[in-house]
Structure 1
Amino acid sequence: MENFYFLFESIENWDTWDEKGFSLGMLILFVSTIFFQILYYILLGRKTDRFSNLGKWFLFGIINSLMVFLVTLLVEGFIVFEHESIGDFEYEIWSFTIINTIYAFLLYFIFSLAFKRFSIHSKYYPVKF
């Protein structure tokens, strides 16, 4: 899993990251992205065309990224490394969280290409083909 986070170099607590950090970060990333895909394309995309535009699709991608950012920051800081407060978080936790957030929007785009086929109203977003 550490190969997925290739931008994330210079890890001091490699054993902790290898045991729990990478797997929890990837789990948060995939669960949140799949949840927002189901919400946008299957639940909302079949019921109404109110959310069927590129702006709403982008908004759901940003909300997904923010959710991944917050959950990853809190889980990695408090559960994996057992810090007392947010002020105790190291640089590695913050950089891992930012990289996970970037991956969240990229996966949101990639999964949108597959999930858009399940939608009635939102089947042309993000791209039409």
Structure 2
Amino acid sequence: MMYILNLKYNPLTATLGALVIGIGAEFTILMMERYYEEREKGKLPIVAMETAASRIGPAIIASGSTVLFGFSALMFTTFPMLSSFGVVTVISVAFALLSTIVVLPPVMVYLDKWIKVKNLTSKNKPF
């Protein structure tokens, strides 16, 4: 992506991978946890995902938009290192957000037959 945008690799863009993994993991964990909550209530996979996405989706989109707009301010600086960091971060976080909203739900529903969702009661919870 940096090659296509003609951006130089610098110390800030080197840290980008860890940053995007952290942000993307947060989005994914929120969606998956909400899905598992709905599955534990006995809902079918597609219904559980529809409920999860409708309940947590707007919060994930709002959180992701806040991150995108925050980092987009860096794109307008005259300092080239910060500017390229802003561009690459915005694009990477946008991909992480889109993958959580568009790719993750159908994959979770499709793979549900291999995922065993346990119905945890208060008796068998570890704490």
TM-score in terms of structure 1 length: 0.52
Amino acid at match of 1:89: L
Q: How far off is 1:8 after superposition?
A: 8.6
Partners of 2:46 and 2:96 lie apart in 1 by: 27
Whether 1:107 aligns to 2:97 is no
Cα 1:68–1:14 shift into 2, 3 Å: farther
C-alpha RMSD of matched pairs (Å): 4.0
Whether 1:10 aligns to 2:8 is no
Q: How far off is 1:56 after superposition?
A: 2.1
Cα 1:61–1:35 shift into 2, 3 Å: closer
Residue 35 of structure 1 corresponds to which residue in structure 2? 30
Identity %: 10
Whether 1:47 aligns to 2:32 is no
Q: Which runs of 5+ in 1 are unaligned?
A: 1-5, 78-85, 121-129
Larger relative contact order (CA 8 Å, sep ≥ 6): 1
The aligned runs of 1:28-107 (5 Å cut-off) are 28-41=23-36, 43-47=37-41, 49=43, 53=47, 55-59=50-54, 62-63=57-58, 65-66=60-61, 69-70=64-65, 72-73=67-68, 77=71, 88-90=73-75, 92=87, 93-105=89-101, 106-107=103-104
Q: Which runs of 5+ in 2 are unaligned?
A: 76-85, 119-127
C-alpha contact (below 8 Å) 1:73/1:97 kept by paired residues: yes
Partners of 1:72 and 1:66 lie apart in 2 by: 10
C-alpha contact (below 8 Å) 1:69/1:101 kept by paired residues: yes
Higher Rg: 2
Kindly provide the CA deviation profile for residues 70-97 of structure 1, in whole angstroms up to 9, marking residues without a partner as x. Answer: 364377x3xxxxxxxx6x3316143333
TM-score in terms of structure 2 length: 0.52
